[in-house]
Amino acid sequence: MEIHLITDSSKSNSELTSILKSVQEHIDYIHIREKTKTISKQQDLIQQLLNEGIPKQRLIVNDRVDLALMNGIHRVHLPSHSFKSSVVRERFPHLKIGTSIHSADEAEQIECTDYVLYGHIFPSQSKPGLKARGTKELQEVTAKSNVPVIAIGGIDCTTIQQLLPIPLKGIAVMSSILSAKDPLKAVLQLKDEIRRGFHEKFL
């Protein structure tokens, strides 16, 4: 099961670079999703990460297709307000494209996309006051989607076991890692829970 770590504009570039450098070997992808930062600041962050040895292949740029192209990054994620995936696919066929969806109906209609991100599954600090969609709706999404599904929202060591029976490509995490006192320890604990769950599943 892939682990995607999504940044959230809550930390400075230097703080974020330090955290991401410490955990990057233990996660599959890092989504650069710095909504409140200027394009210049986002570019600076990408350069810092690359200078620290984080591989381009591990980076996914959220929304800003231009930043991905400028830095030779071949993965982008398109939120619902962004470009249509069909347009990006037509113009830049070499890019791997992910999109955000919010219903099983959207999953059924998706096209020109390599994976979908669906949530929020559990109550989440980043979505205060909004009702979580839950695992039942997530199962409907995976049943209807013809591309791999990544689950997001409130996923940590206390909730991950509920997701393991569902045929997911992976999970996306934010605050459970980035806001942890020890982000590396938090990642390793999450991976241990995933391994334990799969081990028990196949006993």
Is the backbone of residue 58 left (phi > 0), alpha (psi -120 to 50) or beta? alpha
- Tell me if 88 sits within 8 A of 76, measured CB to CB: yes
Segment holding 189, helix H or strand E: helix 183-201
Catalytic residue among 4, 31, 77, 120: 120
> DSSP characters for 24-63?
GGG-SEEEE--TTS-HHHHHHHHHHHHHTT--GGGEEEES
CA–CA separation, 119 and 123 (whole Å): 10
120 in catalytic set:
yes
Cα distance from N-terminal residue to C-terminal residue, the chain: 18
Q: List Cα–Cα distances, 184 to 100, 162, 170, 195, in angstroms.
A: 27, 23, 19, 17
Give the contacts of 56 (CB within 8 A, at least 6 positions apart): 50, 71, 72, 73, 74
Residues with a catalytic annotation lie at 120
